[in-house]
Amino acid sequence: MTKSRTLRIAMTVGVTVALAACSSTATTAPTTAPVVTAPPVVTAAPPTAAKVYTYADMVVGFIQTGSESGWRAANTSSFQETAKEKGLKLNFYDAQNKLENQITAFHQFNQDPTVNVIILAALDVTGYDDVLKEAKTAGKVVVLEDRRINADASLYYTYIGSDFDAEGQKFAAAMCDALKGFPADKHNVAEISGAVGASAAIDRAKGFREKMGDCGIPDPTSLNLSQTGNWGVPESKAVMEAFLKKTKNIQGVIGHNDEEAIGAIQAIKEAGLKPGKDIMVVGADATADGFKYLISGEMFADIECNPLLAPQVYEAALKALNGDLSLPKWVPSQEGQFFASQGAAALTDILKTRKY
C-alpha cells in the first residue's frame, strides 16, 4: 500500500473519529441513564389582563380659549354637560383668550399625576411644542378640539374640529349668491376676520379667497377692507364703521362668526343703509343670535360650525387610554349652512330644534 494511500486512510479515520468524538454523546449510549433533573417548571402567573379604562377612570384637564362668543359658550357647555353625563372628572380651565395662560395650564396638567387626558382648544396655531412634548413624556393622552395647530402630529392623538377652509369656501359661494342682483363691477366685499393667529380665522380667510373669484369678488385685503373683529360685536361694529367712513362702495361683508356679522349689521344700519339690501351680510357659527338675523332677513346666510364636540372628543380620549390609536389625525365635524331665503317660519322651526 503506497505511503500516500496509507496517509489518506489515516486522515479519513482521524476525521471520522473526530466527528464521532464531537457527537459522541449522540452515538455511544451511556451505560446508566444519567439522572436528568428537569428544570423546575415555573408556572408564571397568567399575564395580568391590561386594565380596561372606563369614563370613571378618566380625569381630564380641559384648556378652553375663553368665553368670547355664543359658539364658545355652547362648546364649553358641551364639555361640562357631557362630563357629568359620562361620570368623568373634568378640570376646566378658562384661558381668558391669553396664550400664555393656556401654556401655564397645560404645564400644570402635565405635572398633575391624577390627570390622564388633556384637551386643548388652541388660541393660536403655534406655541405649544414644549408642553406637548412634556405631555408625551408624562404619558398623557392629548386631544385637540375645535382648532388645529401646526405641531408634529405625533405629539397629539387626534384633532376633532371643523374644516374651516371648507367653511371659507361656503362664505364665498353664499356671497356670490347674495350679489347676483348687483352689477358685475359692484362686488366689493369687506371681511371682518376672527382673532389673529387662530386656525379658524386663518383657514376661513384662505377658503374664502380660494372661491371668491368665482363671481369676481376682489380680495378684501387689496381693497383695505379686511380687519380682525376679535370674534366680538363691539370691535366688529367699530371696524365696519371705519370701513364705511372710508368708502360707501361696499356691497357685501363677511363676518368670521355671528358676533362679527351682527356688529357689521349694526354699523350698516347706523350708517343709514339696509343690511340684506344695500349690503349683503354672511356670518358663521349659526348660533341662535345668528338665526335671529337670518329670520329678519338682515343676514343673507349663516355658515354652520358645530360646537357640540364633547361626546366625540371624550370617546376618542377613552379609545386612546385603552390603547386604540385607530382614529385618523383629524376627525372633521359635520355641518351645513342656513339661508334667509329658507323663510322666517322654517328658520324659526329649525331654531327650536337647536341646542345653541
Return residues touching ligand GYE (CB under 6 A): 68-69, 71-72, 146-147, 200, 231, 257, 284-285, 305
Q: How far is the CB of 333 from ligand GYE (least distance, A)?
A: 9
Closest to ligand GYE by CB, 115 vs 302, is 302
Q: How far is the CB of 310 from ligand GYE (least distance, A)?
A: 14
Query: Which residue is listed with cell 387662530?
Result: 198
Closest to ligand GYE by CB, 223 vs 261, is 261
Closest to ligand GYE by CB, 90 vs 303, is 303
Q: How far is the CB of 334 from ligand GYE (least distance, A)?
A: 14
Q: How far is the CB of 278 from ligand GYE (least distance, A)?
A: 26
List, in order, residues 6 or more apart from 265 with CB less than 8 Å away. Answer: 275, 281, 293, 298, 299
Query: Minimal CA–CA distance to 145: which of 112, 123, 177, 175?
Result: 123
Q: How far is CA 117 from CA 43, 90, 110, 206, 319, in A?
A: 37, 10, 9, 32, 11
Closest to ligand GYE by CB, 55 vs 128, is 128
Closest to ligand GYE by CB, 203 vs 298, is 203
Closest to ligand GYE by CB, 102 vs 257, is 257
Closest to ligand GYE by CB, 285 vs 302, is 285
Q: How far is the CB of 168 from ligand GYE (least distance, A)?
A: 12
Q: How far is the CB of 236 from ligand GYE (least distance, A)?
A: 11
Q: How far is the CB of 132 from ligand GYE (least distance, A)?
A: 19
> What is the C-alpha to C-alpha distance for residues 78 and 30, in angstroms, rounded to an integer?
80
